[in-house]
Amino acid sequence: MAGEKAGGKRVFCPSSAAAACLGALLFFFAGAARAQISPGPLSKAHQSLSGATQCSSCHTLRAGSPEMKCLDCHTEIARRLRERRGLHAALVQGAEPGKDCARCHSEHNGEEFQMIHWDAPVASFDHRKTGYALEGKHAGIECTRCHTAAHISPEERKEIRIKDVSKSWLGLTRECATCHKDAHNGRFGGECQKCHTFADWQVGTRFDHSKTRFALTGLHAQVSCGKCHLAGADGKPKYAGVAFQSCADCHKDPHRGAFKQECGSCHTAAGWKTVRMAETFDHSKTAYPLAGKHLEVGCVKCHAGSDFKKKIAHEKCADCHKTDVHRGQFRERADRGECGACHTVSGFKPSTFDGKRHGETKYPLEGKHAELACGKCHKAEGAATVYKVKFARCLDCHADAHRGQFSGAPYAGKCERCHTVAGFRPAKYSLAQHAQSRFPLEEGHAATPCKDCHKEAEIGGGRAVRYRFEDRTCTACHKDPHKGNFRAWMERKREDGQPAGCLACHSVKSWRVTTGFDHTKTKFALTGAHRAVSCAGCHNPSSEKKRPEEISFQVPSAACAECHADAHAGQFARGGKAADCATCHTTAKWRPSTFDHERGASFSLKGAHERVACAACHQLTREVNGKLVLFFKPTTKVCGDCHGNRLLPN
């Protein structure tokens, strides 16, 4: 056998004799070879391709895996793949469509094997995979309403391989006319979606009438299509050739030819009753030119029944505006309540009545009142708004901030006695006025801020600053540091009948000045040097903090030892009790002593001894608690102890 190299391998070509032998062998082994070459019987649809000699019809034989030639026969699928449309184009993404076909349509599985199958019921198929989503009313239609042989064009039928095209899902186009009959007979082309939607055929929501020669404006936009596009001779709506140059083409003339002008001279598409007289008729040439809001008023508002020749009274606002919104509150004015005095044709609000005009009334606006909006006093209640309000008293408008504390004499609720319209605070209540009250401010009280005494409290069922005090005693404001020790003194009546209170001892000038207290009326009258001693010299606080409330004025005893230390170190004590200092001393002065040597001692000082100083005889000192104390006893009574044993001359 001759041979030649091909592709790097040697290929042997048989001679004629060898070819004859090979043919006989192939015929003999055909049955066995078929069983070894074919993976299994073909499906019923491909039975015409059965047999060992038909392999190349579907496969390209070569080394390695054979290439499948599905699209050589199924040209209808091949075209859709090229055009990238339909379900197969969405599923086949690779570069080997033959292999992709086998993923869904496998062969050699027997004659009864169904090569086309669905994972789920056909009715639940997601149509979006085809590139044509079912929207609106399409979404609820059965598959067979669209996928029928009647909807497949002859050109598509030639290409579809399946014999019974009614069983094929191919062949339909996306044009509406594929399934639907053109109600317009081709007059508007085949793009139905320019005017219609899948939601409702009857509603042409997408049609833009402004692109036609007759744009729909005003009320025309609300008219249904069928009102203008009536059925023609063929019984179908007429969309082209509809007359629209004149209003009379559609509308009947209610004036019966009385006016030669076009309807648009007086009327607009916004409504038959919306006339354009203001644009065409010059009202300024009449006895009543229109200005402001009057320009917006419809003619028939004044010209009833469209009678433009009838004279209309217009000298006063009330000629047209019959209802007095103020209910006659201004009839007593000189102008009898003419509206123009406060309002203009530009609008009923805002009023032209200002602060200057208010100054001409019985209540000129001053101070803070001039800053108020009208509605603060004249409550806006429409026609019920009251403009003639009470103003004789502040309380006619303002709530009583003092809750009736000044409703009686002498103020009688007259706020102006203490306040001004410039502001509620500060009040003009002065010290001179306070001096005329039941509690004149004197000395230290005059320097006290008002708020220290006048604080917020519960008054008349609400909270307010208290200004009237029935209890005007000191303890009504001040805490009693003496804890009631002087209650009896404080309860004594003054000339005005009020309790003396703290003033029984203190003054309003200073708490520490106690000029009012008479110590002679106590059990311990102050005499001598005691009168010069300050109160605190005897009445000391009981602790180092020295707080006034710790001072005790109730001295348990008048004995000197309660305040004074015993300078004699107890040498005159009797029975454990200190001696009475008054025996030898007085409150006027500690020295000299008033000791009566004749009565108090056993040694009489008669004679020359009366002129001898005490210290000349009493010289005995002892240290007591670190101090030297002069002791008066024992003192010798022997003359020689003082005078010695020297004999006097004869």
Classify residue 21 by its DSSP letter. H
Can you give the pLDDT at residue 47? 92
Neighbours of 299 (CB within 10 A): 16
For the segment 446-467, the average pLDDT, to the nearest whole number, is 92
Yes or no: say if 345 and 288 are a contact pair by the CB < 8 Å rule. no
| Residue 266, C-beta contacts closer than 8 angstroms, at least 6 positions apart | 259, 275, 276, 277, 280
Least confident window among 186-190, 295-299, 422-426, 628-632? 186-190
Between CA 154 and CA 487 the distance in angstroms is: 129
Please report which confidence band the pLDDT of residue 151 belongs to, taking 50, 70 and 90 as the band edges: very high
What one-character-per-residue DSSP string does 363-421 give?
Answer: S---GGGGGS-HHHHS---GGG---S---SSGGGTS--TTTTTTSSTTTTT-GGGT-BT
Can you give the pLDDT at residue 541? 67
For the segment 155-167, the average pLDDT, to the nearest whole number, is 88
For the segment 485-495, the average pLDDT, to the nearest whole number, is 84
| Residue 398, C-beta contacts closer than 8 angstroms, at least 6 positions apart | 415
Between CA 475 and CA 481 the distance in angstroms is: 10
Least confident window among 14-28, 37-51, 349-363, 527-541? 14-28
Between CA 32 and CA 92 the distance in angstroms is: 37
What percent helix, strand, coil does the chain show, rounded to 5? 35, 10, 60
Phi-psi region of 8 (alpha: psi -120 to 50; beta: other; left: phi over 0): left
**Whole-number average pLDDT of the chain:** 83
Between CA 483 and CA 480 the distance in angstroms is: 6
Quick one: which of 398, 393, 388, 387 has its CA closest to 423? 398
Residue 131 pLDDT more than 60? yes
Yes or no: say if 239 and 229 are a contact pair by the CB < 8 Å rule. yes
Top-ranked range on mean pLDDT: pick from 60-64, 119-123, 452-456? 452-456
pTM here? 0.42
Can you give the pLDDT at residue 52? 83
Please report which confidence band the pLDDT of residue 12 belongs to, taking 50, 70 and 90 as the band edges: very low
For residue range 244-277, what is the model confidence (pLDDT) as tens digits?
999 999 999 877 776 677 888 788 888 887 666 6
Q: Which segments within 165-210 are labelled E, that is strand?
A: none
Please report which confidence band the pLDDT of residue 37 belongs to, taking 50, 70 and 90 as the band edges: low
Between CA 604 and CA 187 the distance in angstroms is: 166
